[in-house]
Amino acid sequence: MNEEQRLEMSKVRTGESVDKKSSQDKPLSEKTTEDFAHYFQTTYQPPDIRKARKRYREDIEVHYDFSIPEQMKTFGVGKKFLIRTYGCQMNEHDSETMAGILMEMGYEATTVDEEADLIILNTCAIRENAENRVFGEIGHLKALKIENPELIIAVAGCMSQQETVVNRILEKHQQVDLIFGTHNIHRLPQLIQEAMFSKAQVVEVWSKEGDIYENLPKARQGRIKAWVNIMYGCDKFCTYCIVPMTRGKERSRRPEDIIQEVRHLAAQGYKEITLLGQNVNSYGKDFEDIDYLFGDLLNDMHKIDIPRVRFMTPHPRDFDDRAIEALAKGGNLLDHIHLPVQSGSNEILRRMNRKYTRESYLELVRKIREAIPNVTLTTDIIVGFPNETEEQFEETMSLVEEVGFESAYTFIYSPREGTPAAAMEDNVSMEVKKERLQRLNELVNKQAAESMKQYEGKVVKVLVEGESKRDPNVLSGYTEKNKVVNFKGPKSVIGQIVDVKITDAKTWSLDGEIVTNTAEVKEDGKIHS
Ligand code: 5AD
Ligand code: SF4
């Protein structure tokens, strides 16, 4: 995917008090990486595929006993928080959990930096530019902290899980009061308290990765679509990817907890849920007491009265027949599958440790198409992986054509410190990588435009999400296949699924007209489908 499309779709716990810094006697400016390494001594695991295989599953504990400590229950009254989220849907959803906890403490949300008493940067580590943006933002916040010394600045998310990042913040960014990891969100109340009363920067990054916290409060953004975690972590260890280190080992939520959450969302009137996980179709493989996999979960979702169920992200290697059979039932299980391929070259796929070949990916696509003839496939692709040859890149181009992806998120490979690929020799210049990305984007755009063209004159079902960002007189929503549709219609249809006739197809969006004759317009002016 390119910018145009993006725009369109718009531990060891370090101990009790985490005030370790003050317990050391050297001034901060003289400290070295070793001085900070204790924060991670028994927890930080440099990426290592051999070690990954030794991740123990029996450790998984599910906690149902979250509560805000008595002394923190009204701590946020009269105060405001702002959470800035970077990166993926997992982070978006974690931010909803942080917001939920803060609101239970009495905090109110704000979008204005100057009004905030607490600013949390929920960070992403997937590529270098994501990290650079966060460091830029940390720099900007310095002035605000000088103006308002009471302001608490926190850094959370995937960047916090990396030792080098934490060290850099501790050494160079004294304005940051609190750093906490992706496994410490449930400790937010205690951490805020520590940050407030400690004179030193507070760091809590656990790598105790086996736990699941069930009853954390959530302040969801919007009342139409909701994220639902089904599993956490990733054990795939693709050689370019930092996620298995920042998100820990794979662990699945119990089916009954997921089903209850989705039923509750349906009862609240949500129209669409997205089942979330780094590797959703590994779901259930860690259960020792039950035989219940991703396909079984999809079957149970199929029975729930919620109009739309999506999932992201599946791994081609784990896409089994049970899941395909479930998806083939249709109903609320939508016929759009985002299936990251990363490369079309077997040699690159092998060096990426993707555990499938071009041929097996194509065979999976064939099976999916056979079971779900109308399926739309989209993907993720990395160009410029170390030593990628022109021929290997062209194999990616030909695969994109062969599968007929309707859209793709495309990335230039970004070396992530500590991952196996970062140590690989790379003879491809940035200029060549950029040129390959451009060629790939041209092909993806062409296929996207062609796939959109076929909708002209057709009627599609649109879940109306709100006003278009560009024009408040225009409504915007998504089709079942996740295409953006802009159309004129009454605001009363926001939150509903309506029929829209497509009049004009653009590369990344469709324009249309609401079809009122399929809906009954009642006296209240509302359209009832
Ligand atoms: N460099 C570039 N892209 C990456 N991705 C993951 N790690 C990297 C990296 N180091 C891409 C993959 C993945 C998507 C979420 O981000 O394509 O599917
Ligand atoms: Fe990263 Fe996805 Fe590979 Fe896991 S499966 S290591 S999250 S790219």
- pLDDT tens for 407-440 read 999 999 999 998 999 999 999 999 999 999 999 9
Which of ligand 1's atoms lies nearest the C-alpha of 421?
Answer: 10
Lowest mean pLDDT among 32-46, 50-64, 136-150: 32-46
The ligand 1 site (C-beta within 6 Å) comprises 126-127, 240-241, 340, 342, 380, 382, 411, 413-414, 416
Q: Which has more pLDDT, 104 or 209? A: 104
284 in Cβ contact with 292 (< 8 Å): yes
Which of ligand 2's atoms lies nearest the C-alpha of 380?
Answer: 8
Phi-psi region of 70 (alpha: psi -120 to 50; beta: other; left: phi over 0): alpha
476 in Cβ contact with 464 (< 8 Å): yes
- How much is the average pLDDT of 61-87? 94
Q: Calculate how far, in angstroms, residue 411's C-alpha sits from the geometric centre of ligand 1.
A: 7
pLDDT digits (tens, 9 = 90+) for 113-135: 999 999 999 999 999 999 999 99
Confidence of residue 45 (pLDDT cuts 50, 70, 90): very low
Tracing tokens 């086996």 back to the chain, one arrives at 210
Q: Which has more pLDDT, 40 or 362? A: 362
Residue type, 177: D
At residue 400, the 3 state secondary structure works out as helix
- How much is the average pLDDT of 478-498? 96
Straight-line distance from the first to the last Cα atom of the chain, in angstroms, rounded to the nearest whole number: 34
What is the number of the ligand closest to the CA of 47?
A: 2
DSSP string, 25-78: -S-GGG--HHHHGGGGTTT-----HHHHTT--STT-EEE------GGGTTTTTT
Confidence of residue 33 (pLDDT cuts 50, 70, 90): very low
Given a cut of 60, whether residue 265 has pLDDT beyond it is: yes
For a substitution probing ligand 1, which of 382, 424, 437 has the most ligand atoms within 8 Å of its CB? 382
The pLDDT value recorded for residue 429 is 98
- How much is the average pLDDT of 326-337? 98
Nearest to 258 by CA among 208, 224, 294, 290: 294
Provide the pairing of β-strand 152-157 with 118-123: parallel
The ligand 2 site (C-beta within 6 Å) comprises 234, 236-238, 241, 243-244, 278-279, 315
Q: What percent of the chain has pLDDT over 70?
A: 86
For a substitution probing ligand 2, which of 279, 352, 411 has the most ligand atoms within 8 Å of its CB? 279
Nearest to 128 by CA among 428, 353, 350, 422: 422
Confidence of residue 55 (pLDDT cuts 50, 70, 90): low
Given a cut of 60, whether residue 69 has pLDDT beyond it is: yes
